[in-house]
Amino acid sequence: MPTPEPLPKVFRVRFAHLEEQFLTKELSPILVPRRYEGPRAAAHGGIVTAYLDEVLAAVRATDRLSVTGEITVRFVKPVPLETPILGRGRLTARHDRYVDVQGSLEELATSRVLARARGRFF
């Protein structure tokens, strides 16, 4: 198993006082590389959706294998490139065969919501 890279300094400072929670499975802070630029100086919607899919999958809170059945994304503000982004998510409903989750991407420095998503995982 490869050794994880250390968190960038800005994240170490921001998260120093927090205790790790193990319901979320290996989420890391997000820095969207410049190569994923869509509109000028902002992330392409496809990569934003992919990051939100990972945030939602990590909070599905089941130990069973699951796949994304559907995802709906609302782009609120342009997602800046190479800027620390925080993914947040929560379980909203648990059913026999699927779970519903919601999440968002926020700019770390300002807590400004950049994009929201709802998903259903089977």
- Is 61 within a domain? yes
Q: pTM for this structure?
A: 0.76
Domain span at 34: 29-121
Residues in the chain: 122
pLDDT digits (tens, 9 = 90+) for 87-118: 998 999 989 888 999 999 999 999 999 999 99
Please give the order of strands across the beta sheet that includes 68-75: 68-75, 113-121, 99-107, 85-94
- Is 8 within a domain? no
Query: What CATH number is given to the structural domain containing 60?
Result: 3.10.129.10
- Is 45 within a domain? yes
- Is 71 within a domain? yes
Give alpha helix (H) positions in the chain.
9-15, 45-58
Token couple for 4: 């994880």
- Is 17 within a domain? no
Token couple for 23: 């319901």
Residue 11 has pLDDT above 60, yes or no: yes
pLDDT digits (tens, 9 = 90+) for 37-48: 999 999 999 999
Number of domains the chain is built from: 1
- Is 2 within a domain? no
